[in-house]
A and B are shown apart, each in its own frame.
Chain A
């Protein structure tokens, strides 16, 4: 337990759902105000591991360093561990999934832009996902590497990429499809943990689309859905 005082800091966690539990340094924590949103937790200054967990969802974790009196906001994302098969879906989702199969992969010349237009993402070669800051260099997050007027970072360079989309409403998390799965990933690769969670795995050439807090995945003639 931490003593409240000036030496402490506050971790502010943006909604994780009613059933999610927050563990700080492996201990379950009670928020300062359980009804507020985002929920806030008081911690001593220094380095802490934050883990957000919910039954049937992949856990999310992050190492943070907080100074005295400082408030750090974090926004976890939780992906369901097992997707459900959908027998029938709207024509719009089906056509989006079909279209996604033929969509060109974002390239440096034709990148994918986040909703707030801060970040563009593209694939360099076949495997290297690059995120580039789309505005003036001074405001780029710390994990972007700036050279002359270009700020960017290699997000992931492990698998062949077939499709990329931003997580709805966010510019710090992406979904991407490889020849054998669909994954969600934070674009910040510099922390001790880069949260990387599978939506579906061990399938052939999947495509995906997001709609109303769900991600739909098409592989073969099968469609699955997961909450996000």
Chain B
């Protein structure tokens, strides 16, 4: 008889490990079914011991240990399970929740249909190689990646290219040289295709290139030699829901744990990554670009001045931008107009108390949009929630709500009204809400002789060809969110538009804080980082600390009670507690700022694991709101 310790994969289990009897020895990494209260849950074995060797310990346990229900298949490397355990500690959560979150459900539930793993990944007796960075234009990145791929294939090693989204995985798969065996896998595939791709990846004998999202890093490929993390700062790497993992950090952990090469790539890398590079914790695969080329020419237009000197109303277009819009028709040119927010009006505020109308689910400002039946509704561009527009202020219950700001529908209406002959191709999460609609509009724009691509970030991410002129109509609303990663995201977006533009790049702004725009117009990454690092050092934010955000929501009294307990529990740590007024229900955050050198700390970890399930743990958050 054996005692197996499993990492539970079921939701709502706070225990890191559960023990069961087994009539036979079970290898680490095997999926099993085991009883848990009245149900049967799946778990992954992480340890198996002979019961005979544990007689004394077994006599002391205060409960009756149950037997395992069913032994299923071993589909993971044992080293992968070790990696998940390490990453779980780094993220302050349980290892089971890491495995469950980073392995697609059809893989777990159909594990018996997948090849069994009998050996493990070979760990060379070396120190894990230092990760390397690539900071370059998208075109250069693809070139560098392709050359690294060929080099590793020549060395008989497979490569995993990790992308933040399914779309990026598809795009990347098509960018690799055709003579290479590229197997693309993502969670949009049907169950059968997904299982068949998994099998193909595991059983193909010659080295291959796997392109997929981080959820497929669990695929056991023993000749893996390199993990490439594309588009590092893409927010899709960070899970919105529990267990709030940062998947790009997980990809780095896998590479380090397997002692394999790791490349972190992006047009703009995160401040933490550049800081680590400057401190010699990372090296460069190719000389990183800190100043992009001089073209296109750029101009920053102060819209406050224009509004002040104008006659009345809000000015949407400055004269240079308006001139360029008209020239698109006259000169058969193509232009991109960027508007940060979808809908008509990106913000709605209460005229009585000044509160911004926010999403009840995620807390971001709601946008007033025209839906398909031409009714106006509030929509959240972060989590997709919609609400009827007839709502009261969540703070004072007033009806006096006023829509403010400029959304993409508002700009589209003005363009169509003022210049009816202009071809406007609109792309945003509401207008082009399906893949088919999005591709249709982008294809129409690509084949048109001239026209305007009026877009939010969605169209920028998907545009595959260059345009003559670009203009940021409004991006100030992004800067209005006092959040950690916003400057990086905005800066990367601006550089992305700059890279797509051949001749002229305009940025209109009403903001006082225009440094970020100036740096983007000049392609000056170095100055941007210098400023970012200085600001983060001033506030002690990452990379100068690790942050763990604890969130509780519900009845105000309960939340306050929880937060009081959290404050007492972590009284020896630097902790700040603040309400998140953006939710329908009362919600509060506790932010732990931990010295970089002190994480992972056993004492803090134990306290985190002792917290009730009602408190969400978000280690290394991207947003503090």
Chain A residues close to B by CB (< 8 Å): 108, 124, 127-130, 142, 145-148, 150, 152-160, 189-192, 194, 196
Contacts and interface: CB of A to CB of B under 8 A. Distances in A.
Contacts of A124: 123
Nearest to A152: B122
Contacts of B122: 130, 145, 152-154
6 tightest A-B CB contacts, nearest first: A154-B120, A147-B124, A150-B124, A189-B119, A154-B119, A157-B120
* Most B-side CB within 10 Å, residue of A142, A145, A196: A145
Contacts, number: 67
Contacts of A145: 122, 124, 156-157, 222-223, 225
A153 B205 CA distance: 14
Interface string B119-139: 111111110000000000000
B139 to A, nearest CB: 31
B318 interface: no
Nearest to B116: A158
B126 A147 contact: yes
Contacts of B222: 145, 153-154, 189-190
A128 B120 contact: yes
* Most A-side CB within 10 Å, residue of B74, B123, B126, B203: B123
Contacts of A108: 125
B573 to A, nearest CB: 36
Nearest to A192: B203
A128 B122 CA distance: 10
B119 A155 contact: yes
A189 B122 CA distance: 11
B257 interface: no
Given A147-B126, A148-B126, A150-B124, A159 B25 contact: yes
Contacts of A190: 205, 222-223
A153 B125 CA distance: 12
Tell me what chain B mostly uses at the interface: helix, strand, loop, or mixed: loop
B259 A153 contact: no
Contacts of B118: 156-158, 189, 194, 196
B25 A160 contact: yes
B103 interface: no
B155 interface: yes
B270 to A, nearest CB: 27
Contacts of B156: 142, 145-146
A152 B120 CA distance: 11
8 contacts: A142-B156, A146-B156, A147-B259, A150-B126, A154-B120, A190-B223, A192-B203, A196-B118
B121 to A, nearest CB: 6
Contacts of B126: 147-148, 150
B600 to A, nearest CB: 23
Nearest to A160: B25
Contacts of A189: 118-119, 222
A157 B27 contact: yes
Given A146-B155, A190-B223, 6 more contacts: A147-B225, A152-B124, A153-B222, A158-B27, A159-B25, A190-B222
Interface of B: 25, 27-28, 74, 78, 117-126, 155-157, 203, 205, 222-223, 225, 259-260
A127 B203 contact: no
A128 B78 contact: yes
Contacts of B225: 145, 147
Given A189-B118, A189-B222, A190-B222, A157 B124 contact: no
A181 to B, nearest CB: 12
Nearest to B78: A157
A153 B120 CA distance: 8
Contacts of A156: 118-119
B299 to A, nearest CB: 51
A205 to B, nearest CB: 12
A189 B25 CA distance: 22
A152 B260 CA distance: 13
A150 B225 CA distance: 13
Contact of B205 (A155, A157, A191): A191
Contacts of B120: 128, 154, 157
A195 to B, nearest CB: 12
A154 B27 contact: no
A108 B155 CA distance: 25
A153 B222 CA distance: 8
A156 B222 CA distance: 12
Contacts of A146: 155-156
A153 B157 contact: no
Contacts of B121: 154
B24 to A, nearest CB: 9
A97 to B, nearest CB: 24
A203 B78 CA distance: 27
B25 A148 contact: no
A219 B28 CA distance: 27
Nearest to A137: B155
Given A128-B78, A191-B205, A153 B119 contact: yes
Nearest to B27: A158
Contacts of A158: 27, 74, 118
B118 to A, nearest CB: 5
A146 B225 CA distance: 9
Contacts of B119: 128-129, 153-157, 189, 194
A118 B28 CA distance: 30
A157 B80 CA distance: 13
Contact of B124 (A148, A160, A194): A148
Contacts of A194: 118-119
B550 to A, nearest CB: 36
B50 to A, nearest CB: 9
A96 to B, nearest CB: 27
Nearest to A190: B205
Contacts of A160: 25
Nearest to A146: B155
Nearest to A129: B119
A164 to B, nearest CB: 14
